[in-house]
Structure 1
């Protein structure tokens, strides 16, 4: 996904074709490059988001019935906290995943990092502390992604329960998690492309354009530039692979979340309450 988002010169093909091309050029382990920082980033990010979401929901609702609007607002607030705390991990994650890649784009500068801590140190030394928050602005806009995701998930969950407190089946949790993430990802994908470019931060930019980084004008410039070069479809380059990745991940995450939550309540002997209308 990152290859197609960051490297404009790489042709958009089917996911298997792109994977085959990467393996042929860079070896069998290339698709797994940066797997450890990905796991670290996902664990930290999901923990922060889920903790904030449910803490805010419990504090605000206090047993009252939730609504899609309230879920969206709570999801956005939790997303903002998550972005501000975990963006440095995602910046490092993006760079380590793309390090050593064979780009078609000559404007991409190579990097030499030796792990998460080394990447953090080098980025601070060479680019300043602020570089760890590259892409924060589009990331803040992208809090709509988990916000929309949780709003749809909670709405579908309420429809399935229909006011009756019961544990969702594995199939139900998996399917509504997949649907929620698919909608949220498709709606916000152009901003995710801009976010990846800014986090990577290794494109050579003209002086007058580099001043626009991490600003609304920078995001607008990158979106317009992508449309000019590749058309509107260029904004959705790599969407197929992104959906395969995030939808499956989110569906499994919600499935595990529901099962772990239910098991925890049972172990603690706590009965969940149906929110009052």
Structure 2
């Protein structure tokens, strides 16, 4: 059977994005739990005032899932920010795979024109550098969606205090005089008009994608959407390490076996490569999450690491690491396992798009 032509940068990007969305959708509740563990939003009393559910320190992913599911948030709390997260995953994966394919192809072609052999295996250092460049380009364009998704995951249902205040206001309105004064009428009309405008600007609720985006713009300005960009740029080495190690280990396995990369082998290599990448970069993953949280007391990634180290030592840098590794490894392993299927689906989508 004739070998299929390699996918274009757009095709590779689409295949990677589809794979990323699928794998992250499967384990999304775990992602919500690990984000809350990493955020460490303070004492339970403070969290209750914000209507948030805290996860016990040292809790595992399963306990975290059950804690949120049994709380006032319910099972839906495990899927807070799901839409934004999937958009973020798709856009990030698409941008990463697109730019990685572009920069890698340009580099290989440049080697070929210099007579160094374009088909030669690239060194691990080069693979990591190309991956970092691609990841940096991807992050610059996609981090606003990541900030919104993180804020949604860290949110919670309305607190009891807020519910009581609203009920008191409704009772006061119901018990008001039958013939309100002109000033009262004007005030009521103004409030009603204000609510109508708010609903038009935000058709659902303040915790929706647009609602959170508007809140960030109101509180932090346009730069708030790029909060955590610096640690995100540092974290571009994470996928670079992941794919760099994956390619190295894959080549070793292919050379030592029958030369065929089965889905089971892809799953195993993907798990190993992602675990290594996560362990190396986890402190900055923690810093990124805390910087993107609402009302964060930190000024930057270094500030996060310094304050956490002062309170908890090096162990504090790895708070929630087990949850992060479990979630990341499962997502990455699923992505590698089903990658061939995503390429098949991508070819079908591109073929259908070319039809008149």
Say which is worse superposed, 232-241 or 82-91, in terms of deviation: 232-241
Query: Corresponding residue for 2:183?
Result: none
- Which blocks of at least 5 consecutive residues in structure 1 are unaligned? 104-111, 269-277
Query: Is residue 288 of structure 2 the alignment partner of residue 241 of structure 1?
Result: no
Q: Structure 1 residues 165, 257: closer, same or farther in 2, change over 3 A?
A: farther
Contact 1:73–1:147 (8 Å) recurs in 2? yes
Query: Corresponding residue for 2:301?
Result: 219
1:259 deviates by 4.0
The 1-side partners of 2:102 and 2:258 are apart by 20
When the two chains are superposed, the root-mean-square deviation of aligned CA atoms in Å is 2.7
Query: Corresponding residue for 1:53?
Result: 100
The 1-side partners of 2:158 and 2:345 are apart by 46
1:102 deviates by 9.5
Structure 1 runs of 4+ off > 3 angstroms?
A: 163-167, 258-268
Query: Corresponding residue for 2:228?
Result: 135
Query: Corresponding residue for 1:158?
Result: 251
Q: Structure 1 residues 18, 267: closer, same or farther in 2, change over 3 A?
A: closer
SS of match in other structure, 1:25: coil
1:25 deviates by 2.6
Query: Corresponding residue for 1:250?
Result: 332
1:126 deviates by 2.8
Say how many residue pairs are matched.
249
Say which is worse superposed, 53-62 or 162-171, in terms of deviation: 162-171
TM-score of the superposed pair, with normalisation by structure 2? 0.64
Query: Corresponding residue for 1:108?
Result: none
Query: Corresponding residue for 1:64?
Result: 119
Query: Corresponding residue for 1:32?
Result: 79
SS of match in other structure, 2:70: helix
Q: Deviations over 1:5-62 (max 9, x none)?
A: 1125452222222222222333232222221211111111111111111121111113
Structure with larger Rg = 2
Query: Corresponding residue for 1:202?
Result: 295
